[in-house]
Amino acid sequence: MFSAKVVTVSDGVVDGVREDRSGAALEERLTAAGFDVVDRMVTPDGVAEVADALRRATAGFAGLVVTTGGTGFGPRDLTPEGTRRVVEREAPGLAEAMRLVSPLGRLSRGVAGTVGHALVLNTPGSPSGSVECLDAVLDVIPHALDLMAGHRPH
């Protein structure tokens, strides 16, 4: 069983004016896929805030970290910029696969990449969009995590 964390990026959720439906949807989907969701975090929008949340989420962690929110064109949609501050190696194939799930996916600026032994994926803020994007790559995530842990050296 692999471990996972979900990071919701939303000023509205932090302020208590919006329910974290996408974080809950991701947790439910990850659990159904056999992941042990060990943490759910919420952070405000913003480059520094996202970067700090991802540093906390990935510190000493081996597993999957999925963000939800802040990947679009809104003025506070800065999750990709915050993620890039933390990611050591980008995984553009995963990000591109997530963009191809629907026509609206073409509007996503989300990135994917590694931080130590953690794999970070940015997904959109809608419950359906976040799960659709996760589902687009979920089949290869266990192999990626195995490789990152050194279990299948080339």
Q: How many CA atoms does the CB half-sphere of 30 hold within 13 Å?
A: 30
Tokens encoding 47: 């480059």
Domain boundaries, the chain: 1-38, 90-117+136-154
The dihedrals phi and psi of 9, each to the nearest 5 degrees, come to -105, 105
Per-residue model confidence as pLDDT tens digits over 85-143: 999 999 999 999 999 999 988 899 999 999 999 999 999 999 999 999 999 999 999 99
pTM: 0.96
Please count the other Cβ atoms lying within 10 Å of the Cβ belonging to residue 84: 15
Distances (CA, A) of 17 to 10, 11, 13: 10, 9, 6
Per-residue model confidence as pLDDT tens digits over 56-65: 999 999 999 9
Question: Cα-atom radius of gyration of the chain, to the nearest Å?
Answer: 14
DSSP assignment string, 46-66: SHHHHHHHHHHHHTT--EEEE
Per-residue model confidence as pLDDT tens digits over 27-73: 999 999 999 999 999 999 999 999 999 999 999 999 999 999 999 99
Give the model's confidence band at 151: pLDDT under 50 very low, under 70 low, under 90 confident, else very high.
confident
Give the model's confidence band at 154: pLDDT under 50 very low, under 70 low, under 90 confident, else very high.
low
